[in-house]
Structure formats: structure tokens, C-alpha cells
Amino acid sequence: MNARTYLIISIIISTLSVILHRIEYQLILFGVCILLVLLLNPSKRRFVLLWKRLRFLFILILFLFVMQLLFRQSGSVLFHWKFITIYSEGVLIALIVSIRLLILLLVVSLLFDIPFYNFVLALRDWKLPYEICLMIASTFSFLRLFEKQFKIMKDQLKIREISFRKIPIFRKSRAFSTIVFPVLAQAMHTVRYRAIALDLKGFRLHPTRTDYISHKLKWVDYVIQVLAFWVFIITMYFIIK
């Protein structure tokens, strides 16, 4: 599929996830995201990579789930023990927020698979300024670089037989900062060389440029984009009505 189709699907799913507040709709959107992941790149390596990307964020989602569960005090009481009281509204809001975050994470993971230059071309086809296209594509590229550098750092720690899990909990924040800042510096160093390469290639020297990569839409892209727009329009019609 064309990168523009990925972008349109991601924008529509993200927008519907923010607009729709009922848990049934969130579950449907979550199922659509899972289906897209299965259909677009159904390989074992793809799922392993997706799990590695998301497992660190599950802790944050679990934390937000518990916070919503404990501090939402409306609806009927479902559970009470000493000072802990769980209400029906708290459970509902916690589920909606958690599923919405999972949807957004899956959508972003789909965009991570788009190569840097294809990302730029897709945005340029929408007549966006080249500077904005480059900034958006560079953001996703920087996150991929950060992920790659972080993986290299983890492999180096394994070679030295250093386990992050064995570090005492009071020293983990210091150890984490010791690992993250060199990784961040290396990723920024790589981005700097990319910026130098753009200057050497005459970036912004001419208002237009010729692309040698074919990025025309196929009939499958047209069908998927039209269906996605129709689903979005029909959903918005029923919401407004």
C-alpha cells in the first residue's frame, strides 16, 4: 500500500478514537487496528518487533488504568475494602482510556514502518511545504533511530553481563538516565549528519525537485481510501444527528 493510505487510515482511526467515547466503539476500533496489523505485514518478526515496542508502554497504561479506577468516584459501588472503593464509572473510564491509548500506540506503530523518504513523498503529494514534510518525517525517523540505539546499548550491557532488572529499585532512575542520555546523544548525532547531508544536496535551493521513485496510487489504495472516508463521514453523521 501507498504511504498516503497508511496516513489516511491512521488519521481517521485516531480521530474516531478521540471523538467516540463509548467502550463498544473503542473495542471496534481496537479490533480494526489489530486486523490492520495482521493484514499489512503478517510476519513473526513484525509481531516480535511490535511487542518490543509496546511492552514498555504497558506499564504506563496500567498505571493510568489504576489511577482512573481509584479516583473516579461516580456511579454504583462495585467493590469496597477499607479505604479502597471502586465505582462502575471508574471501571468504564479506565477501560476506555486504556483501549484508546492502545489504539493510538498501534496506529503509531503502523507509521513507524514507513521509510523516511516515502513519508516525505506522501506528505509532499498533499502539497504540504517541504520543510513541514521533512520535520514530520524526521520526527518518526528520530524515534526509530532512538529505538535502534537503545537496542544496541542493551546488547552491549548483555555482553558485559549487566542486568537492569537486578539493579536496586532506588538506583534504577540513576541507571536509566545513565543509559538513556548517551543513546539520545548518539541519535541526535545521527540526525545532525542527516541535516548536513541535506545541505550538501542543495536543500531549499530550488522550489521544485524531481523524484525518481514512483509513488502513484494503485486501485487498491483508491478503494481503501474511499471506504475509509465513507466510514468516517457516516460515523460523523450519526454522531451529529
Question: How does pLDDT run across 155-204, given as a tens digit for each residue?
Answer: 777 777 777 677 676 676 776 777 777 777 777 777 777 777 777 766 66
First to last CA, the chain: 34
Of 101, 99, 129, 124, the C-alpha closest to 7 is 124
Percent over 90 (pLDDT), the chain: 0
In sequence order, what DSSP letters do the residues of 167-214 get, joined into one string?
Answer: S-GGGHHHHHHHHHHHHHHHHHHHHHHHHHHHHHTTTTSSS-----S-
pTM attached to this predicted model: 0.73
Kindly report, residue by residue over 69-126, the tens digit of the pLDDT. Answer: 777 777 777 777 777 778 777 788 888 888 888 888 888 877 877 777 788 788 888 8
The residues, ordered by sequence, that sit 6+ positions from 120 with a Cβ below 8 Å of its Cβ are 130, 133, 134, 137
Predicted pLDDT at 164? 66
Quote the CA–CA distance of 136 and 114 in Å, as a whole number.
12
Q: What is the pLDDT confidence band of residue 43, given thresholds at 50, 70 and 90?
A: low
What's the whole-number average pLDDT of the chain? 77
- Please determine, for residue 223, whether its predicted confidence score (pLDDT) is greater than 80: yes
CA dist., res. 104 & res. 63, Å (int): 17
Rounded distance between C-alpha atoms, residue 105 and residue 99, angstroms: 10
Half-sphere exposure of 80 (CA within 13 A, CB side): 4
Q: What is the distance between the alpha carbons of residues 5 and 121, in angstroms, rounded to a whole number?
A: 12
Contact present, 84 and 70 (Cβ < 8 Å): yes
Q: Which of 65-74, 138-147, 208-217 has the lowest mean pLDDT?
A: 208-217
The answer to whether 106 and 125 have CB atoms below 8 angstroms apart is: no
- Is the CB of residue 17 less than 8 Å from the CB of residue 29? yes
* Distances 11 to 18, 42, 90, 188, 198 between C-alpha atoms, Å: 11, 22, 28, 28, 28
Q: How far apart are CA 166 and CA 16, in angstroms?
A: 42
Q: Enumerate residues 6+ apart whose C-beta is below 8 A from 109.
A: 37, 50, 53, 54
> Among 29-33, 152-156, 199-203, which is the least confidently predicted range?
199-203
Helix (H, G, I), strand (E, B) or coil at 126: coil
**Of 179 and 233, the one with more pLDDT:** 233
The residue that leads in pLDDT, 24 or 180, is 24
